[in-house]
Amino acid sequence: MESTFAGIELGKRGLITHQAALHVTGHNVANAETEGYSRQKVTLKVFDPLYVPGLTRELTPGQIGQGVQIEKIMRARDMLLEDRILSESNGLAYWKGLNDWIYQVELIHNEPTDRSIMWVLDKFWASWQELANNPEEIGVRQTVKEYGIALTRHINANYTALKAIRDNIEYTIQVRVDEINSLAKQIAHLNGAILRSEAAGDNPNDLWDKRDLLVEKLAGYVDIRVGRSDMDEFFVYVGGKHLVQGKHFEQLSLTKNPENEGYSDVLWEGDGSLIKLEFGELKALLDARDIELKHQINALDTFSVNLIDLVNSIHSRGFGLNLRTGLDFFKENPISVNPAGDYDFNRDGLIDGTAIFRITGTKDISADDLVGLEGRITLNNGIAVEYTSTDTVSDIISKVNNSGSDIKMYLDSNKKLVVRSDTPNFYIAHLEDSGDFIVQYSGLLRGSGREASFDYMTFGMAEKISGDFMVTQKLHPSSWMALSDGILHEVESIAASTGTDTDGDGIPDIADGAGNGDNALRIAGIRFDKVMIGGSSTLNEYYRALITETGLKGETAENESKNRGLILENLVNLRKSISGVNIDEELVNLVKFQHGYAAAARFITEVNKMLEVLINRML
């Protein structure tokens, strides 16, 4: 039987329900601009009616309603859309981060301006050409010196700037790793709070929003995959390993890598393994530091050491106005303990190898000559290049350069065969010929076979070399490149003229005259010699290709960043249409629930009047 006071209870439920709905609406309005907030919605349901069907129920009209109650308060969120946003955030953060750092590299190159390396390099070659025409003019020699100084300073400055960017990236990586660890800890803490709330039967909407916001921030740093299949545990995976598993979280750590100049590797703190990333800002930082910037510095070092070698090899054989000869134009800074290139590779205090950057043959040969020989050239890591009697010199050079070895081979302007290291370490690892091509034919080595081969892991290998060679220079020649002291202090020592070899040792010992500018002309001609990348480009073309490559990478990164940014913007707008707070809609709900609350209050007032008549007036 229905209670006399049932109307009061029914009205109370209406008041409570509409009051809660008003609170939710107010909560939405208050958080309209809160980052990560999802619009919440109240779902109402009918309260259980009286007189549930049964044999003992009273014979009166049944299913009398008892009002309304709140079924649940849910947030408006599309989780499939959220996963798509996380995925696009990974890609955008990677390309945007990479674009920012490449842009800084483009600013360092400063092309095309009159403050760039290319501009000074052209002036440097032109000054040598002018000296060839006026070898006795002190003023022209001073110009060569000044442009040489300007060139080395530009190269030094570029190295310093590139190194500074790498150092800045290293610091940024440390900051990002700390932030990732902090986010993982916060997500795990929220997982515990959410699990307790869900166990009590609640919908922890605000906690879910906080966690989703943290996960989205994390997705900007590393490429993540979220696991929601387990109702009791929320997973965040990075590189196939879980960063967060419910209330448990892993930490990342940094370890200095001596093989990478002391820059840090990012490891899992638990097992010490390297983290595997494909996208995200952290991946962009690692790629920028260890690929892009490292490549830029290595290319600048390669350009510098070849410029030093090519100019010095000609200049040292010429004569100055003061008849001084055997002087280098650029300073050399060999890593070896002696002119023969002997070096301590494993740094145990004992000489254990030979560090040679370049070997030049003694014989004049032409690219189109048929060698008429058969044999096998063995290079680093056992790489073998077979040649036959029908091969030309050019054929063998191409085979070597395309073999994947650590050396490049080319003919210089004097028709001499040159073998040069093509690694950032700048030393030749192994050189061996079972035949006579690099022995008797070109004059690189003194003998054939294993016994006469050159191998860097044995000291005293300079004795196996027949031709001229350059010892490997100290690390990062672009950082210390400078003019030699003899040139700085006396421009008359600039070797503009050639000489004559009178004793047959291959080294000129008598000058051809102060008015002879042939040596300066040879140095000026270096700009046209294809001596880089296996004889396929000049020094100018090599550096210009580096600038072009940098520009293309920057353009690619910028385009990818814009495209992914547009995609992410559209996805975020779609999310706003689903999860965002619309003030107009909330005001409509506010009026609706306010009227519902007022109606429930009016209903209670009327029931109260009825009860007053029943209790106080029926006496």
pLDDT tens across 23-73, in order? 888 888 888 888 888 888 888 888 777 665 665 666 566 667 777 888 888
Q: Is 535 left (phi over 0), alpha (psi -120 to 50) or beta?
A: left
Q: What's the mean pLDDT in 489-495?
A: 90
pLDDT per position as a tens digit, 215-239: 999 999 998 888 887 777 888 899 8
Q: At residue 564, does pLDDT exceed 60?
A: yes
CA dihedral over 389, 392, 397, 400, signed as positive or negative: negative
First to last CA, the chain: 24
3-state secondary structure of 448: coil
3-state secondary structure of 581: coil
Q: At residue 403, does pLDDT exceed 60?
A: yes
- CA–chain centroid gap for 453, Å, is 39
Nearest residue to 117 via CA among 288, 312, 304, 311: 304
pLDDT per position as a tens digit, 132-187: 999 889 999 999 999 999 999 999 999 999 999 999 999 999 999 999 999 999 99
The answer to whether the beta carbons of residues 222 and 282 sit under 8 Å apart is yes
Q: Is 119 left (phi over 0), alpha (psi -120 to 50) or beta?
A: alpha
Nearest residue to 604 via CA among 68, 202, 11: 11
Check residue 198 and give its pLDDT.
Answer: 81
Q: What's the mean pLDDT in 544-548?
A: 90
Nearest residue to 358 via CA among 371, 341, 372: 341
Q: At residue 1, does pLDDT exceed 60?
A: no
- DSSP symbols for 35-91: TT---EEEEEEEPPPS--S-TTS-SS-------EEEEEEEE---HHHHHHHHHHHHH
Check residue 62 and give its pLDDT.
Answer: 61
Q: At residue 413, does pLDDT exceed 70?
A: yes
Q: What's the mean pLDDT in 327-335?
A: 91
pLDDT per position as a tens digit, 256-307: 998 898 999 999 988 888 999 999 899 999 999 999 999 999 999 999 999 9
Among the ranges given (101-105, 200-204, 211-215, 563-567), the one the predictor scored with the smallest mean pLDDT: 200-204
Separation CA 477–CA 312 (nearest Å) = 14
* Higher per-residue pLDDT: 515 or 439: 439
* Higher per-residue pLDDT: 232 or 541: 541
Nearest residue to 190 via CA among 169, 171, 204, 172: 204
Can you name the residues that pair with 226 across neighbouring β-strands? 236
Check residue 535 and give its pLDDT.
Answer: 65
The answer to whether the beta carbons of residues 517 and 131 sit under 8 Å apart is yes
Helices 138-199 and 79-109 cross at an angle (nearest 10°) of 170
The answer to whether the beta carbons of residues 315 and 326 sit under 8 Å apart is no
The answer to whether the beta carbons of residues 540 and 527 sit under 8 Å apart is yes
Residue 390 has, within 13 A of its CA and on its CB side, a CA count of 0
Check residue 17 and give its pLDDT.
Answer: 87
The answer to whether the beta carbons of residues 252 and 267 sit under 8 Å apart is yes
Cα three-residue angle 512-513-516, rounded to 5 degrees: 85
Separation CA 128–CA 135 (nearest Å) = 9
